[in-house]
Amino acid sequence: MKPLILITNDDGFAARGLRALDEIAMEFGDVVVMAPEQNSSGKSHSITTGRPLRVREIKQDDGLAVYACDGTPVDCVKLASEYFCPRKPDLVLSGINHGSNSSINVLYSGTMGAVIEATALGFNAIGFSLLNHNPEADFEPSRHIVRHLIAQVLTHGLPPDISLNVNIPRLEQHQIKGIRICHEAKAQWNDSFEKRIDPQGRPYWWLTGKFVCNDPPETSDEWALANGYVSVVPIHPDFTHYPAIAQLQHLEVL
């Protein structure tokens, strides 16, 4: 039986990056797409519990079913894998995101929320992001990278509880130097809210921010991307900082 690949994203079901990804995935197997109706960037790992979910069938072709869901990317993974896939998916893909999900951005990313959820549910999963926010971004130079990583993971699998956060620099194919397995660079968003006054005289605040990553080490994703490499970060759905457990024993003394 052909592999079954489930695809989602956070830019919404109509995004070009999603279409690029489902075209590549169809070379490998049957594809089910369930993606948010609307842009869900910044939705992180959020789930919808206060209201039910609606689903709209967009396309039902041979080997490709596409659904739009009014929930979050994580909702899409949960609902599609449970209810809309004809069998359990062999691989869950998310993206190709329009914009970076490197470093600390993985925390906010709906694209990567979906990937982490897929891992928590026991599926192999990869998130792809291109460092280009433009809705008209060109995904052609990303295709051979995406194809390579899908083939590798379908063939060899991934270590237990591990998924991949793949970021692709905004370069022509011949300019991409290769792939580097990295860790997340330590970085920060320096937020500054822009206060404005509405026509009724009441204030409101827009979130703005500047991504700051000083001197990232050569082993990090930010270094790789700044130097023409695709970054692949193995991630896992456990926030525990294990070395700190021994450092914090004094807290046990009440």
Q: Quote the DSSP letter at residue 87.
A: S
Closer CB to its own copies, 62 or 252, in the complex: 252
Q: Is 180 in the site for its own copies (CB under 8 A)?
A: yes
Q: Which of 149, 150, 221, 154 is nearest to 181 (CA)?
A: 221
Q: What is the number of alpha carbons within 13 Å of residue 175 lying toward its C-beta?
A: 11
Q: How far is the CB of 55 from its own copies (least distance, A)?
A: 7
Pick the closest to residue 118 from 53, 163, 85 (CA basis): 163
Transcribe 115-144 into DSSP letters: HHHHHHTT--EEEEEES---TT---GGGHH
Q: Which is nearer to its own copies, 62 or 86 (CB)?
A: 86
Structural tokens at position 139: 């995904």
Count of residues interacting with its own copies (CB under 8 A):
87
CA 246, CA 151: separation in Å to the nearest integer? 41
Which residues in 207-236 contact its own copies (CB under 8 A)?
207, 219, 232-236
CA 174, 176, 177, 181 torsion: positive or negative? negative
Q: Which of 199, 206, 215, 218 binds its own copies (CB under 8 A)?
A: 206
Show the site string, 2-41: x = touches its own copies by CB under 8 A, - = not. -------------------------------------x-x
Minimum CB distance to its own copies smaller for 93 or for 112: 112
Residues numbered 127 to 166 that lie near its own copies (CB under 8 A) are 144-145, 148-149, 152, 156, 158-159, 161-162, 164-165
Residues 41-60 that bind its own copies (CB under 8 A): 41-50, 52-55
